[in-house]
Structure 1
Amino acid sequence: MTATETKTESVLTATNPDHILEVRGLKKYFPIKAGLLQRHVGNVKAVDNLNFYIKKGETLGLVGESGCGKSTTGRTIIRLYEPTEGNIIFKGRDIATMSESELRKTVRRDIQMVFQDPFATLNPRKTLRSILKEPYNTHNLFTKKEREEKVQELLAKVGLDPSFIGRYPHEFSGGQRQRIGIARALALNPDMIIADEAVSALDVSIQAQIINLMQDLQREMGLSYIFISHDLSVVRHISDRVGVMYLGQMMELATKNELYSEPLHPYTQALLSAVPSTRKKGQVKRERIVLKGELPSPANPPTGCVFHTRCPAAMDVCKQQIPQFKEVKPDHFVACHLYE
């Protein structure tokens, strides 16, 4: 093992007091069953051996094509999906092995999720008051009067008029419903929020409002975010570091400035080449990289590097050996044989 590999292993696996979350070797496989007897015939490897960490108060963006496993990663971290393998160290405790009762006492309060479609996640039969009181009722917190006060505080935090409190979800616009989703996530004063395509269904002007709101709340409450999106421009605006996923694996992870200015992995380079940009005078235009072939099935991923079937720089070793996810520059990790 080289010095670089040794350093990477310690960075990704040692419990660091500055890290609110450390994901180690995380896997989430969905079984494939066939026939009348529902025999197990294989697995969909939605998430396959992920390693990353999140510092307190920072935003980690996760990007990649549809089906790359980024949403499954978020849902597995919060234990909406049970992890197949690996560790999820949150505030020094491995939540991957916790019982449901332990999760309810700790993680269910400290990690919250904001989903892509707020209308689908809000009960259409409940008023805004009932929706925002539900977390307090579930965890038996505060008196009836205090719960009403807390709801008013939440509305003020997310910029909603207190007079809306008796309305139902269908009476709100998409942006207002997403604000309700954020308010509900904030109700229990969490340490971390996982935003899964939280602005992708909104108009561009509303997207900006929601992102600005999330950044204001982060500064005010010291929140850490996992921001999952396919929109590279939005991720660049809100994130401190960005991870690029492909077929359930992390291809590259770096600070946003480093990743966008000097992407190392051929897949990251191809993704960024597709982002529309306005060039300054004298700035070199980024050449468009068109990937050939189809995205392989996560039920039958390629051997070696999972990207080698579409990679313009593929070598023989890429077909045979899985590249190590390692640090090639300070705080810049990549899984590619080009840098070994």
Structure 2
Amino acid sequence: MISTDTQNTNTIQKDSSSDYLLEVRGLKKYFPIKAGLLQRNVGNVKAVDDINLFIKKGETLGIVGESGCGKSTAGRTLIRLYEPTEGEIIFKGRDIAKMSESELRKTVRRDIQMVFQDPFATLNPRKTLRSILKEPYNTHNLFTKKEREEKVQELLEKVGLDPSYINRYPHEFSGGQRQRIGIARALALNPELIIADEAVSALDVSIQAQIINLMQDLQKEMGLSYIFISHDLSVVRHISDRVGVMYLGKMMELASKNDLYNEPLHPYTQALLSAVPSTRRKGQVKRERIVLKGELPSPANPPTGCVFHTRCPAAMESCKQIIPEFKEVKPNHFVACHLYE
């Protein structure tokens, strides 16, 4: 009998000559399901289930997938806003997952920052812009009072906000301006990695372009690395160097953006990209639309074997029983699919 509990323990083998900032190995984040008066644990929601990825200094890694695939949970677990259930998060040679809160505060909390989808929900409505941007310096006891004022002015200039707005409150700004404030706050401590969780999805298209251009300019100026989480495949293609595709808590495919968009290997990636509207050049072959059947399974009760087999047009018998290994099938192109074994 074939076991349905085979776990993917394979990690991405990286080039030792490359300069890697972050490497994630076997990351899991399960949320317990409680029931009854005694709130007993009756199962787990497998929001992130054994993912592997890495990011180089100065690059942007995009993470895409439909709603509920676990991409935002993965981002928050990487920064320890959620405690990982299992796995390693190696940042500059140290495992974040094993650090105490005091260690995190002294090191990682300064080097990794997050920009959230809804800036209004993450900005204190009772504080002025000056107080919001000074808060990181106050928390970490950095600089003199005069130097903090100067730093705040520098941050405003960096993100394209008028310094005369410094005494305004969050409700006095537009959505795009509030996202600029969120970016400025993330930049305050000169981080090396910024995790942007749906950072432009709530904005108008024209404002999205402004924020993305700002992020790219800041990346060149400050040598930043980004993990850019989004459901918008067009935006991710524009900003990313490499792209990872998630489905039901699993990483399905990871490759450079050109390889992934021009030659997707996983059936799920192929289906996602077939739904993206595109303009074709003369003579270019039209990509066939792939319609997935069935509903997205529950992460509380994921299918055995490959989690995508219930909707996959290319599913085989082995897909129902054996979890596919996430492995490199082409240079720097990783996929978890039995089709490539």
**In structure 2, distance between residues paired with 1:318 and 1:226:** 30
- Tell me the secondary structure at the aligned position of residue 71 of structure 1: helix
**In structure 2, distance between residues paired with 1:19 and 1:35:** 46
Using the TM superposition, give the Cα deviation of residue 12 of structure 1 relative to its aligned residue in structure 2, in angstroms: 3.6
- Length-normalised TM-score, structure 1: 0.96
After the TM superposition, which residues 60-75 of structure 1 pair with which residues of structure 2 at under 5 Å, given as runs?
Answer: 60-75=61-76
- Tell me the secondary structure at the aligned position of residue 291 of structure 1: coil
Equivalent in the alignment of 1:330: 331
After the TM superposition, which residues 5-16 of structure 1 pair with which residues of structure 2 at under 5 Å, given as runs?
Answer: 11-12=12-13
**In structure 2, distance between residues paired with 1:112 and 1:159:** 20
Unaligned runs of 5+ in 2: 1-8
**In structure 1, distance between residues paired with 2:315 and 2:17:** 36
**In structure 2, distance between residues paired with 1:17 and 1:316:** 39
Structure 1 residues 82, 277: closer, same or farther in 2, change over 3 A?
same
- Tell me the secondary structure at the aligned position of residue 237 of structure 1: helix
1:208 aligns with 2:212: no
**In structure 1, distance between residues paired with 2:272 and 2:12:** 27
- Tell me the secondary structure at the aligned position of residue 23 of structure 2: strand
Equivalent in the alignment of 1:144: 145
Structure 1 residues 16, 88: closer, same or farther in 2, change over 3 A?
farther
- Length-normalised TM-score, structure 2: 0.96
**In structure 2, distance between residues paired with 1:131 and 1:12:** 41
1:306 aligns with 2:295: no
Equivalent in the alignment of 1:188: 189
Using the TM superposition, give the Cα deviation of residue 315 of structure 1 relative to its aligned residue in structure 2, in angstroms: 0.3
- Tell me the secondary structure at the aligned position of residue 41 of structure 2: strand
Equivalent in the alignment of 1:237: 238
1:293 aligns with 2:294: yes
Count the aligned residue pairs. Answer: 333
Equivalent in the alignment of 2:6: none
Equivalent in the alignment of 1:276: 277
Equivalent in the alignment of 1:81: 82
Equivalent in the alignment of 2:102: 101
- Tell me the secondary structure at the aligned position of residue 166 of structure 2: helix
Equivalent in the alignment of 2:167: 166
Using the TM superposition, give the Cα deviation of residue 193 of structure 1 relative to its aligned residue in structure 2, in angstroms: 0.1
**In structure 1, distance between residues paired with 2:233 and 2:70:** 16
- Tell me the secondary structure at the aligned position of residue 137 of structure 1: helix
1:16-55 Cα offsets, whole Å, 9 max, x none, are 7611000000000000010000011000000000001001
Unaligned runs of 5+ in 1: 1-7
- Tell me the secondary structure at the aligned position of residue 278 of structure 1: coil
**In structure 1, distance between residues paired with 2:17 and 2:45:** 32
- Tell me the secondary structure at the aligned position of residue 304 of structure 1: coil
**In structure 1, distance between residues paired with 2:75 and 2:24:** 11
Q: Which amino acid aligns with 2:241?
A: D
Using the TM superposition, give the Cα deviation of residue 11 of structure 1 relative to its aligned residue in structure 2, in angstroms: 4.1
1:30 aligns with 2:31: yes
Asked if the contact 1:113–1:194 (Cα under 8 Å) also holds between the matched residues in 2, the reply is yes
**In structure 2, distance between residues paired with 1:15 and 1:194:** 24
Structure 1 residues 170, 212: closer, same or farther in 2, change over 3 A?
same
Asked if the contact 1:20–1:91 (Cα under 8 Å) also holds between the matched residues in 2, the reply is yes
RMSD: 1.2
Equivalent in the alignment of 1:228: 229
Asked if the contact 2:12–2:52 (Cα under 8 Å) also holds between the matched residues in 1, the reply is no
Q: Which amino acid aligns with 1:245?
A: M
Asked if the contact 2:267–2:314 (Cα under 8 Å) also holds between the matched residues in 1, the reply is yes
